[in-house]
Amino acid sequence: MSVFGTGSKDEWLLIIDSGVEQLGYDNGWCTSAFGPQAQIQNTAVGGSNLTAAITANPIMPRALPTRRGLQALALILATAYATILIYQAVAPRQWPEEAVVVINRVISDGRSDTGEMQKISVEETAVTPPVATATMAPFSTDLNDVFISVKTTRHYHHSRLPSIIDTWFQYAKDQTWFFTDKDDQYLQNRTNGHLVNTKCSSSHNRRALCCKMSVEFDRFLESGRKWFCHFDDDNYVNVPRLLKLLDNYNPREDWYLGRPSIPAPLEIMRQQGADSSKRPQKVKFWFATGGAGFCISRALALKMVPVAGGGKFITVGDRIRLPDDVTMGYIIEHLLKKQLTVVEQFHSHLEPMKFLNEDTFHEQVSFSYSKDPRDEWNVVKIDGFRLKDDPNRFRSIHCRLFPHETDCSRR
> pLDDT-based confidence at 89, cuts 50/70/90?
low
**What pLDDT sits at residue 79?**
82
Asked if residue 141 has pLDDT above 90, the reply is: yes
Give me the pLDDT at residue 85, please: 64
Whether 59 shows a pLDDT value over 60: the answer reads no
**pLDDT at residue 100, as a whole number:** 31
What is the reported pLDDT for 210? Answer: 98
Q: What band does 281 get if pLDDT is binned at 50, 70 and 90?
A: confident
Residue of 113, 325, 375, 389 marked catalytic: 325
Residue-wise pLDDT tens digits, 207-223: 999 999 999 999 999 99
At residue 286, does pLDDT exceed 90?
yes
Pick the CATH number of 145-269+281-411 from 3.90.550.50, 3.40.630.30, 3.40.50.720, 3.40.309.10: 3.90.550.50
What number is the average pLDDT over the span 75-98? 58
pLDDT of residue 45: 39
Question: Per-residue pLDDT for 7 more than 60?
Answer: no
pLDDT in tens, 352-376: 999 999 999 999 999 999 999 998 9
**Could you give the count of Cα atoms lying within 13 Å of 5 in the half-sphere of its Cβ?**
6
What's the pLDDT band for 388 if we cut at 50, 70, 90? very high
The answer on pLDDT for 35 being more than 80 is: no
Task: List, for residues 341-351, the tens digit of each pLDDT value.
Answer: 999 999 999 99
Contacts 24+ apart (CB under 8 A), 87-96: 96/124, 96/125, 96/127
Q: Is the pLDDT of residue 133 over 90?
A: no
121, with CB counted inside 10 A (0-12, 13-18, 19+), is middle
Predicted confidence band of residue 87 (pLDDT cuts 50, 70, 90): low
Q: How confident is the model at residue 273 (pLDDT cuts 50, 70, 90)?
A: low
| Per-domain residue ranges of the chain | 2-86, 92-125, 145-269+281-411
Q: For 228-246, write each residue's pLDDT tens digit.
A: 999 999 999 999 999 999 9
pLDDT interval class at 265 (50, 70, 90):
very high
Going by pLDDT thresholds of 50, 70 and 90, the confidence category of residue 73 is confident
Catalytic site includes residue 325: yes
Mean pLDDT (the chain, rounded): 78
pLDDT at 78: 81
Segment 88-108 mean pLDDT: 35
> How high is the pLDDT of residue 13?
35
pLDDT of 200 over the 60 cut:
yes
Does the structure show a pLDDT above 60 at 21?
no
> Who wins on pLDDT, 72 or 42?
72
| H, E, C per residue of the chain | CEEEECCCCCCEEEEECCCCCCEEEECCEEEECCCCCEEEEEEEEECCEEEEEEECCCCCCEEECHHHHHHHHHHHHHHHHHHHHHHHHHCCCCCHHHHHHHHHHHHHHHCCCHHHHHHHHHHHHCCCCCCCCCCCCCCCCCHHHEEEEEECCHHHCCCCHHHHHCCHHHHCCCCEEEEECCCCHHHHHHCCCCEEECCCCCCCCHHHHHHHHHHHHHHHHHHCCCEEEEEECCEEECHHHHHHHHCCCCCCCCCEEECCCCCCCEEEEECCCCCCCCCCEEEEECCCCCCCCEEEEHHHHHHHHHHHHHHHHHHHHHHHCCCHHHHHHHHHHHHCCCCCEECCCCCCCCCCHHHCCHHHHHHCCEEECEECCCCCEECCCCCCCCCCCCCCCHHHHHHHHCCCCHHHHHC
